[in-house]
Amino acid sequence: MIVRSMWRRLSAAVTRGAIICAAAMIGGTHAQPIVTVVMSGLDNPRGLAFGPEGALYVAEAGRGGEGPCFFNSAGEFRCYGPTAAITRLWHGEQVRVVTGLPSHAPPGGVFAGGPNDIAFQGVGGMFVTMGLGNDPQLIRPLPGAPGNVLGTLLQVNAAGGWRVVADIAAYEAAVDPNGGLIDSNPYGVLGEPGSRLVVDAGANALFRVAADGTIATVAVFPSRPTRSTDSVPTAVAVGPDGAYYVGESTGVPFAAGAARIYRVVEGLQPEVYLDGFKMIIDLAFGDDGTMYVLQFATGPVFFTGPGELIRVAPDGSRSVVLGGLNFPTSVAVGVDGALYVTNRGITPGLGEVLRISQ
């Protein structure tokens, strides 16, 4: 599906990424934020989450490796390597607490595929989505490759060990919820008591994974041929009203204003809650009900223009918290009231996490 061409074009576009610049303010009277780098040297950093002890964790998709190698369905040459990781920031110390997770990337390691997001549920309950971005039959049969881990939901224990708890890609291949080409890419994950919610950017769907690993479809998001673009949902968050909110990146040509946020109540059809965004990559809510929307890019089409963090107040008014971001990939709200954003999210060795105090 269209998400595959997104990944290919992003690999070529990374060198055109913008650096952090002064925040642009649209409406409101918010003071300009103070931005500091709290984590650095990351390999393709993706999802952020705070653990039950208060530490900040980030998923690193790695930089691929020496192989085995393959051509994906978009014709891109990629190689495997055990270079993906989960990194923790705790009391100012940055440490990789989980290593050796599978990663695949083109030569140079730009826009690696691997861990996409993290969620916690209680002590010892770390859950990680492993991206795929293809029909699993094109990647998983490769001899000697750890492809069976891609396209799954992992549970990670306190010692750094992990196990597959749900095969999202196999479920999508069997059920085909959106009735299109088989293309699974588990992306955002939300932890809840007794289950996990997983957004599949390839399947254009929201899945629920029960404690026993059983998977069920919660919602499917409108895509071609009912609209001019693919959906490519990337993020899920629970709002102050208890409903789920899902943001989408959309597909080619990734036109500005085409991305939507859906409000999802289980058992009902998703409803458009907000629209007019560009390439939403993550969502988060503050304690006061403020929604934070992270845009991967802001240009008119494709991956042009820097990334941007937008504040949506409970009354619906919007303002830009921080512009000039370089392919940001995740946002989290800290207990200290600050916002945390992964920046340079599709580059090896240059990824970072920013703390934004308002």
Flag whether pLDDT at 1 surpasses 50.
no
pLDDT (0 to 100) of residue 27:
39
Helix and strand numbers (H, E) in the chain are 3, 25
pLDDT at 122 over 90: no
Mean pLDDT over all residues of the chain? 89
**pLDDT value at position 143?**
63
Residue 53 DSSP code: T
Number of domains in the chain: 1
For 86-99, how does the pLDDT look when each residue is reduced to its tens digit (9 = 90+)?
999 999 999 999 99
Per-residue model confidence (pLDDT) at position 22: 34
Q: Please give the pLDDT value at position 75.
A: 85
pLDDT digits (tens, 9 = 90+) for 56-73: 999 999 999 998 888 877
DSSP string for residues in 148-199: GGTTSEEEE-TTS-EEEEE-HHHHHHHH-TTSS---B-EEEEEEETTEEEEE
Q: Is the pLDDT of residue 180 over 90?
A: no
Buried b (16+ CB within 10 A) or exposed e, 89-125: beeeebeebbeebbbbbbeebbbbbbbbbbbbbeeeb
Q: Give residue 7's pLDDT.
A: 41
Least confident of 12-26, 44-58, 138-152, 323-337: 12-26
Write out pLDDT tens, residues 337-349: 999 999 999 999 9
What does the pLDDT read at residue 4?
A: 38
For residue 334, pLDDT beyond 90? yes
Listed in sequence order, the residues at least 6 apart from 123 whose beta carbon sits closer than 8 Å to its beta carbon are 52, 158
Res. 225 pLDDT band, cuts 50 70 90: confident
CA angle at residue 119 from 204 to 87, to 5 degrees?
Answer: 115
Check residue 182 and give its pLDDT.
83
pLDDT at residue 168 is higher than 80: yes
pLDDT tens for 255-297 read 999 999 999 999 999 999 999 999 999 999 999 999 999 999 9
Backbone angles phi, psi at 211, to 5 degrees: -60, -30
For residues 142 and 159, what is the distance between their CA atoms, to the nearest angstrom?
Answer: 30
Mean per-residue pLDDT, 2-30: 39
CA separation for the pair 222, 269 (Å, rounded)? 10
Rounded percentage of the chain residues whose pLDDT exceeds 90:
76
With a cut of 80, say whether residue 16 has pLDDT above it. Answer: no
Between 266 and 15, whose confidence is greater?
266
Residue 132 is predicted with a pLDDT of 87
What pLDDT digit, counting tens, does each position of 183-198 carry? Answer: 899 999 999 999 999 9
- Domain containing 20: what range? 2-357
- On whether the CB atoms of residues 156 and 118 are closer than 8 A, the answer is no
Say yes or no to pLDDT of 146 above 90. Answer: no
Q: Per-residue pLDDT tens for 288-332?
A: 999 999 999 999 999 899 999 999 999 999 999 999 999 999 999
**Alpha-helical regions (H) of the chain:** 2-13, 136-139, 168-175
- Burial of 16-49, coded b for 16+ CB within 10 Å and e otherwise, reads ebbebeebebeeeeeeebebeeebeebbbbbbbb
Average pLDDT over residues 8-36: 50
The CATH number given to whatever domain includes residue 252 is 2.120.10.30
On whether the pTM is more than 0.75, the answer is: yes
According to DSSP, residue 16 is labeled G
> How high is the pLDDT of residue 154?
97
CB of 152 closer than 8 Å to CB of 91:
no
